[in-house]
Each structure stands twice: as structure tokens, then as C-alpha cells.
Amino acid sequence: MSVNDPISDMLTRIRNGLRNRSRRVDCLNSKVCRGVVQVLQDEGYVDGFEIVEDGRQGLIRVSLRYGAAGEPLIASLTRVSKPGRRVYSTVEKLPRPLQGMGIAVVSTSRGVMSDRKCRTERVGGELLAVVQ
């Protein structure tokens, strides 16, 4: 099966896994998807991830994280920039989801990073997703 937007596919798999209370989900492996999952891990939204070889491009196995009462830590996971409409932002205009409690995932010339890290490094880029 051909996937036109692997980032949206990965975010949807994570959303569905959280809704089903799954412990882990498998996503297609790509450099950008690894960067997005790395940002989610660094910010504490997922427990971790590993690359699983399947004879093709591989899979990213994401371990989902839940709160003490079993509630998902991610309430909303939305894709901002899509293949039909790319959204770019300068460092001054990066969004602050939930007044800094959420994160925005940004693809920059220095790799995929969170909006907080973009502000410290003073770099803008393509706004991939918003996590709240």
C-alpha cells in the first residue's frame, strides 16, 4: 500500500493507539518520522521507540505513555503542514500551544525539533504538527 503522507499516517496511528489504550504502535520508518518521534520522546509524550527491520524500509515501534490513572498524555495531535498546503513559520511567529504546555513540532534546516528548542536556537521552519 502506498502512503502519500507518512507523517500524517504516523500521527493517525499514534492517535488510534491512544484511543484503543495500546501499549505500542508500529509506524513506517522514515527520517522525518524518526525525528518527530524523537521530539515526542524528548518532551515526554511517549516512552520510547525502536527501529524494527522488516526486510523493506523498516518500522518504528513507538511505546505510548499514559498517566497515573491510565489517561493518555496526548489530548490532541494534529497535522498542520500537509502535502497540499505547506505551512512555514519564522521563529517569532511559532505557535505556543496551550500557552507553553503543549509543543509544536518543526522541521528546520538543523533537523526536526520542538518549538522551545527552535526559540533557543533562533531558527524557524515548516510547522509539522501540534501536540496538546
Does the pLDDT at position 1 exceed 70?
no
Cell of 36: 518527530
Q: Could you identify the residue written with the cell 524494527?
A: 52
Q: Residue 98 has what pLDDT?
A: 96
Domains of the chain, each with CATH number or no CATH:
6-131 (3.30.1490.10)
What pLDDT, in 10s, does the model give residues 21-42? Answer: 999 999 999 999 999 999 999 9
- Tell me the sheet residues that pair with 111: 108
Radius of gyration of the chain (CA): 14
94 by DSSP, 3-state: which?
A: coil
Across the range 40-61, mean pLDDT stands at 97
Give the pTM: 0.96
DSSP 100: G
What pLDDT is attached to residue 3? 87
Once rounded to an integer, what is the mean pLDDT over residues 56-66?
97
